[in-house]
Amino acid sequence: MNRPHNSITDHWIDTDQGRLFARCWHPESGDGMRAPIVLLHDSLGCIALWRSFPAVLAQQSGRVVIAYDRLGYGQSEARRGEPGRDFIAAEARDTFPAVQRHFGFERFVAIGHSVGGGMAVHCAASHAAACDALVTLSAQAFVEERTRAGIREAREMFRQTEHFTRLQRYHGDKAGWVLNAWIDTWLAPDFADWSLHDVLPGVRCPSLVVHGSEDEYGSTDQPECIAAGVSGPVQLDILPGLGHVPHREQEDRVVARIAGFLSTV
């Protein structure tokens, strides 16, 4: 697949908690009337770690793609204190409306990776009248031992200087906060009963649930739970041989699947 030449604009969004950095990819072609795609990144992610995915997705879908660094991540301002245990719901409740106001869109498509998938579910449910479609990539619907085991293994890996240095390239002096927020939250005893169970029925739009069969942070019980729980029409794709980041492992395949799904919305 040829790499696209999208126009890109960068933005700063003021919120009550601090300034967010956002980026917008505009496709070469498209009618300009379709709802934009909003990307929600994973626990260690940021705009830069989406890599070429947003540009390719904009080109193939013909839609504007918007991504932003959550507060405390990437180029956004540092976050004060630890995230609350309701941080997944809070992203949809408190931050997403600021992104919506800044870019001036009403209708949208929510796409989230990993914990960002849970945030996308909350966005789709909380703003159900405005959400045209939901796509989850390797999302967790509840806390399972496979997730916790993967995080414990990653904790050991990040004790090696080269791995933590790589994280610093994307988050700067916020890298320690980013890492601790992920590990401390998901391994906390009082987070063990977190789930999307009560939120999923509020998703009424069409949904595409994508998950790698070899995902080290979540078994296929996770996407099956999401697919069974939403109220709207749903398509479930378990991708053989892929791990936790299918949109990087087989970008063209995943983009084509998403674009095909969105063409029917």
pLDDT of residue 1: 42
Q: What is the pLDDT of residues 196-234, one digit of tens each?
A: 999 999 999 999 999 999 999 999 999 999 999 999 999
Per-domain residue ranges for the chain?
7-141+195-262
Question: What architecture does CATH give domain 7-141+195-262?
Answer: 3-Layer(aba) Sandwich (3.40)
Mean pLDDT of 118-126: 98
Give the integer Cα–Cα distance in Å for 241 and 52: 22
Give the integer Cα–Cα distance in Å for 208 and 115: 16
Report CA-CA distances (Å) from 197 to 1, 45, 51, 71, 227: 38, 25, 31, 26, 11
Q: What is the pLDDT of residues 82-116, one digit of tens each?
A: 899 999 999 999 999 999 999 999 999 999 999 99
Mean pLDDT of 237-260: 98
Mean pLDDT of 3-20: 87
DSSP state of 195: B
What does the angle CA 101 – CA 255 – CA 38 come to, to the nearest 5 degrees? 10
Q: What is the pLDDT of residues 32-88, one digit of tens each?
A: 679 999 999 999 999 999 999 999 999 999 999 999 999 999 999 999 888 999 999
Nearest partner of 43 among 91, 8, 110, judged by Cα:
91
